[in-house]
Amino acid sequence: MIRLSRRAALQGAAFAGLAAGGTATAASGFPGRTVTIVSPYQAGGTSDIIARMIAQKLGSAWPHPVIVENRPGANGGVGATAVARAPADGHTLLATASSALTVNPLLYRSLGYDVARDFAPITRTGSVPNVVVVNPALPARSLAALIALAKEKPDAISYGSQGNGSNGHLNGELFKQMTGVTLTHVPYRGSAPAVSDLVGGQIQLMFDNLPSVIEQIRAGTLRALAVTTAARSPFLPDVPGMAEAGLAGFDTSAWFALLAPKETPPALRSAIEGAVVAALTDAETRQKLGQVGVTVVADGATALARQIDAETGLWRDVIAKARISIE
């Protein structure tokens, strides 16, 4: 499924025509050198996968290379801060997960950036459900069984996340609030080490992005109990959604976005938006991202700004109830 605004579609078509004629964007002289997309996480995660796909497509269409630079730390905050301070000329962009935009401002007292002040939205790039996955040794083959086991043995089940304040962490806290169970949170520095420990049995549970665990699910080294959206995911058709699994009202997903420094000229932002929409809606891009469970979302700057506002409200309530704070 592809979500594409009419405005973004027109921009994408316009860019395709410009590229075919040898003109990279509507902004004369851009890009004048290598464009860097900062991925503020470890390599290999969902956000990084999308960033590299966009970089590949833009690098083929533009007269200069497009590279991805990983700058992990502080749940995306380190890389986001670097982009906020970069020259606003379109040559440095941020490809981030939603938590850096909607959660970090609620958690970090000393944040090196302000979303509204420092960034100009370009477009959402993709969306994935999280998956409730367990180590197969855990005697729970359904979400109901997991809840029952957690109530029987409070705090005995450890759930890992990509880090304090990450999407996986907050999904775990929302799960606890809606079910009344108690779980032990174990934060990691990224998804990959957490998944490795989940497979190895050091932790028992995760609420992780589908692309990060889909191969382990297929191989049987992890067991999927539910996706965190209300309905099933077409990428895991045999796994129930939360409502079907017995937890109506739980409906979350992880989404990803591209942004530029705030003072990037509007005409240049619009041209980049069109280029990125064209890259995302390319048939090859859709097919490759679909293989790892990513639904392309290319709905433009206005929709991204609305999404940031709406989701900030959701996580503000979860964080307040869980009393989560990060110095």
Q: Mind giving me the DSSP string for 206-269?
A: EEEEHHHHHHHHHHTSSEEEEESSSSPBTTBTTS-BHHHHT-TT----EEEEEEEETTS-HHHH
CATH code for the domain in which residue 47 is found: 3.40.190.150
- Domain carrying residue 199: 130-245
Instruction: Kindly state whether residue 118 falls inside one of the protein's structural domains.
Output: yes
Quick one: pLDDT at residue 28? 65
Section 296-305 average pLDDT:
95
Same-domain status, 101 and 35: yes
The answer on pLDDT for 11 being more than 80 is no
Quick one: pLDDT at residue 18? 38
Domain count, the chain: 2
pLDDT tens-digit series, residues 206-256: 999 898 899 999 999 999 999 999 999 988 999 999 999 999 999 998 899
Instruction: Kindly state whether residue 228 falls inside one of the protein's structural domains.
Output: yes
Average pLDDT, whole number, for the chain? Answer: 90
Quick one: pLDDT at residue 1? 43
pLDDT tens-digit series, residues 164-193: 888 899 999 999 999 999 999 999 988 889
Same-domain status, 122 and 210: no
Domain end residue (candidates: 228, 245, 262): 245
Domain end residue (candidates: 212, 245, 278): 245
Section 145-149 average pLDDT:
98
Lowest pLDDT segment from 25-29, 47-51, 232-236, 277-281: 25-29
Residue 273 near residue 300 (C-beta atoms within 8 A): yes
Same-domain status, 158 and 241: yes
Quick one: pLDDT at residue 110? 84
Same-domain status, 217 and 263: no
CATH code for the domain in which residue 198 is found: 3.40.190.10
Structure tokens at 8: 């973004």
The torsion region of residue 31 among left (phi > 0), alpha (psi -120 to 50) and beta comes to: beta
Terminal C-alpha separation, the chain: 39
Domain end residue (candidates: 183, 211, 245): 245
Instruction: Kindly state whether residue 170 falls inside one of the protein's structural domains.
Output: yes
Highest mean pLDDT among 66-70, 125-129, 233-237, 287-291: 66-70
Residue 183 near residue 157 (C-beta atoms within 8 A): yes
Quick one: pLDDT at residue 19? 41
Quick one: pLDDT at residue 314? 87
Section 131-145 average pLDDT:
97
Instruction: Kindly state whether residue 13 falls inside one of the protein's structural domains.
Output: yes
Same-domain status, 180 and 96: no
Same-domain status, 120 and 257: yes
Structure tokens at 107: 């958690």
Quick one: pLDDT at residue 223? 98
Q: What are the two backbone dihedrals, phi and then psi, of residue 224, each rounded to the nearest 5 degrees?
A: -90, 125
The answer on pLDDT for 130 being more than 60 is yes
Quick one: pLDDT at residue 165? 83
Same-domain status, 8 and 85: yes
Residue in 88, 116, 83 with CA at minimum distance from that of residue 102: 116
Quick one: pLDDT at residue 42? 84
pLDDT tens-digit series, residues 194-205: 999 999 999 999
Say what percent of the chain tops pLDDT 70: 91
Instruction: Kindly state whether residue 23 falls inside one of the protein's structural domains.
Output: yes
Q: In what order do the strands lie in the sheet with 223-227?
A: 184-187, 158-161, 205-209, 130-134, 223-227
Section 79-107 average pLDDT:
95
Same-domain status, 87 and 158: no
- Report the C-alpha gap between 42 and 48 in whole angstroms: 8
Same-domain status, 211 and 317: no
Same-domain status, 287 and 240: no
Quick one: pLDDT at residue 274? 96
Give, in order, the Cα–Cα distances in Å from 202 to each of 45, 95, 128, 207, 319: 20, 31, 26, 15, 26
Instruction: Kindly state whether residue 327 falls inside one of the protein's structural domains.
Output: no
- Report the C-alpha gap between 246 and 326 in whole angstroms: 32
Instruction: Kindly state whether residue 30 falls inside one of the protein's structural domains.
Output: yes
* 3-state class (DSSP) for residue 85: coil
Measured in residues, the chain has a length of 327
Quick one: pLDDT at residue 176? 97
Confidence class for position 25, pLDDT limits 50, 70, 90: low
Same-domain status, 104 and 139: no
pLDDT tens-digit series, residues 249-274: 999 988 999 999 999 999 999 999 99
Same-domain status, 31 and 107: yes
Residues linked to residue 36 through DSSP beta bridges, in sequence order: 67, 92
